């Protein structure tokens, strides 16, 4: 079965009510696509020996029901909808098992192919955590906003320091040639608190510094209005690279510094619905840690800020762009 028809079949099942099942194949064992409360699932009717166990893996869970003659295995996607990696798992299992000539061989290949796939996915080390994906997404949205408002793409990617934060090569997510800094934070809806990862990150020092906060929520794969993280990041790379080879080289260095592999379909699980930007001017009186007063020996301080307490420092986001000589409509 080809990928498009298999994908179409799962999408058809997912549009129906939970529990909807459609047979995919019966040789040498029975496979069916299932809607498990909005998650794609592969249902398999098969007889297992006591030693044959199918285990969970990254991106999917497994439930086995042993009932004598017929055992039932259901492999269910962790995320709602039809994640690309889950579809590839199903394709791989169907291809391997479909090439066998007997039930016994099919069962053996079934358990082995799932183990092989689990090991393959597990070898993909160094993926960004969810919090880092969310933070990077917010930074990319701001970069695109700057470019769309008239900033040269090379200047925008040059100012982007977020990818080097862990290496200590940038205090703020964006630092511009005139000394202005912008710290970008993401939060859930409704915006309540943000996490500050460094004691020196949001300290008013007399230079122009702003905190911009973008609230956004996760969205299912089937929601057309959502923005795919991986697709948006790749499109941003194309926008930056169109500005010339120097801009393209700086983009590549930033992505390398992040250890972000944009060819990895695993990131397709992240889809977001952004809200409205909120801007806070980090000026005199802005709540922060008094670094000189910290006792010697404290080298790593993280804390949270309650956004409601920052109301006195709110400024229109559009003014920030105008102050930078950019358009705001």
pLDDT digits (tens, 9 = 90+) for 219-257: 876 677 889 999 999 999 999 999 999 899 899 989 988
DSSP 169: S
* Whole-model pTM over 0.85: no
Q: Report the pLDDT value the prediction gives residue 221, as an integer from 0 to 100.
A: 66
Domain covering 3-122 assigned CATH 3.40.50 in the classification: no
- C-alpha–C-alpha distance, residues 93 and 244, integer Å: 44
Instruction: Report how far residue 71's alpha carbon sits from residue 44's, in angstroms, rounded to the nearest whole number.
Output: 8
Question: How does DSSP assign 178-246, residue by residue?
Answer: TS-EEEEEEEPSSP-EEEE--TTTT---SS-EEEEEEEEEE--TT-TTSEEHHHHHHHHHHHHHTT-HH
Q: What is the pLDDT of residues 105-151, one digit of tens each?
A: 888 888 888 887 776 665 555 688 888 999 999 999 999 999 999 99
> Dihedral angle at the C-alpha atoms of 174, 176, 180, 184, nearest 10 degrees?
-10
At 135 the pLDDT is 93
Q: Note the pLDDT of residue 124.
A: 52
For the chain, domain boundaries: 3-122, 130-323
Q: Which residues in 154-177 are b (16+ Cβ under 10 Å) and which e? A: bebbbbbbbbebeeeebbbbbbbe
pLDDT value of residue 323: 94
Q: What percent of the chain has pLDDT over 90?
A: 40
Q: In the prediction, which pLDDT does 3 show? A: 44
């Amino acid at each position: 079965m080809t990928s498009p028809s298999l994908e179409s079949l799962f999408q058809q099942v997912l549009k129906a009510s939970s529990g909807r099942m459609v047979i995919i194949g019966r040789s040498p064992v029975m496979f069916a696509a299932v809607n498990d409360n909005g998650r794609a699932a592969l249902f398999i009717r098969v007889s297992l020996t006591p030693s044959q166990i199918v285990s969970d893996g990254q991106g999917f869970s497994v439930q086995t029901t042993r009932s004598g003659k017929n055992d039932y295995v259901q492999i269910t996607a962790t995320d709602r909808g039809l994640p690309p990696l889950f579809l590839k798992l199903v394709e791989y299992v169907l291809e391997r098992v479909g090439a066998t000539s007997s039930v016994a061989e099919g069962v053996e290949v079934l358990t082995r192919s799932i183990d092989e796939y689990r090991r393959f996915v597990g070898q993909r080390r160094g993926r960004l955590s969810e919090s880092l994906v969310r933070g990077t997404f917010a930074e990319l949205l701001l970069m695109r906003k700057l470019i769309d408002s008239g900033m040269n793409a090379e200047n925008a990617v040059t100012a982007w320091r977020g990818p080097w934060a862990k290496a200590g090569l940038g205090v703020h997510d964006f630092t511009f040639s005139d000394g202005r800094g912008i710290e970008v934070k993401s939060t859930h809806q409704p915006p309540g608190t943000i996490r500050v990862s460094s004691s020196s990150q949001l300290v008013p020092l007399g230079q122009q510094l702003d905190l911009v906060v973008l609230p956004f929520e996760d969205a299912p794969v089937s929601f057309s209005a959502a923005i795919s993280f991986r697709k948006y990041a790749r499109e941003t790379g194309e926008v930056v690279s169109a500005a010339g080879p120097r801009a393209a080289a700086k983009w590549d260095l930033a992505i390398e510094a992040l250890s972000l592999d944009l060819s990895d379909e695993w990131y397709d699980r992240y889809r977001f619905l952004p809200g409205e930007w909120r801007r806070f001017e980090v000026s005199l009186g802005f709540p922060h840690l008094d670094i000189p007063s910290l006792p010697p020996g404290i080298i790593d301080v993280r804390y949270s800020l309650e956004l409601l307490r920052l109301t006195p420092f709110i400024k229109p986001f559009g003014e920030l762009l105008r102050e930078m000589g950019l358009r705001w409509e």
